[in-house]
Amino acid sequence: MATEETLVLVKPDGVARGLTGAILARIEAKGYSLVDIRLVEPDRDLLERHYAEHEGKPFYEPLLEFMMSGPSVAIRLAGNRVIEGFRSLAGTTDPTTAAPGTIRGDFGRDWGLKVQQNLVHGSDSAESAARELAIWF
Ligand code: DAT
Ligand code: MG
């Protein structure tokens, strides 16, 4: 049993579209535990730290602008292999090709935008989770 914690974000598109409850319902139905939850309006400094690995990529500036366009719901989530498990629930990055049954596959839209408005973030490793949780909480 490998109980872990991960950072989940319901991003500004998810909050603005009123999908926070639907996304939380899937997380709870899976059996993961909400350890902490808060509404955050991140500033540029926070987002530069969160997305440091993407600095310089073509979608970096649009990504930061999008993430500053409204509040996100930040969740400290715990569970057995939750890091991998939540990313599986979320689906692949591009909502156009994310599998049906996943959050991004079921709710994500293809607007042909410069940045993927794909509803959620989930940490991609134990190292990322520890780093990101310290940034958002
Ligand atoms: P993920 O959120 O699936 O971990 P990521 O870490 O590679 O994906 O990228 C962070 C975010 O940046 C992602 O959720 C949406 C945006 N993004 C990534 N790749 C992109 C691309 N090729 N075009 C537009 N936006 C992109
Ligand atoms: Mg990522």
Do the interacting molecules here have an ipTM over 0.95? yes
Across the chain, mean pLDDT equals: 97
Indicate the pLDDT class of residue 110, thresholds 50, 70 and 90: confident
Note the pLDDT tens digit of each residue in 116-134. Answer: 999 999 999 999 999 999 9
Best CATH choice for the domain 3-136 from the list 3.30.70.141, 1.10.10.10, 3.40.50.1000, 3.40.470.10: 3.30.70.141
Q: pTM higher than 0.95 for the full model? A: yes
pLDDT at 1 over 90: no
Is residue 34 a contact partner of residue 75, using CB atoms and an 8 Å limit? yes
Q: Residue 97 half-sphere exposure, CB side, CA atoms within 13 Å? A: 3
Furthest C-alpha separation in the chain: 41
- Pocket, ligand 1, Cβ cutoff 6 A: 54, 59, 63, 93, 115-116, 118, 121, 124
- Report whether 26 belongs to an annotated binding site: no
Indicate the pLDDT class of residue 15, thresholds 50, 70 and 90: very high
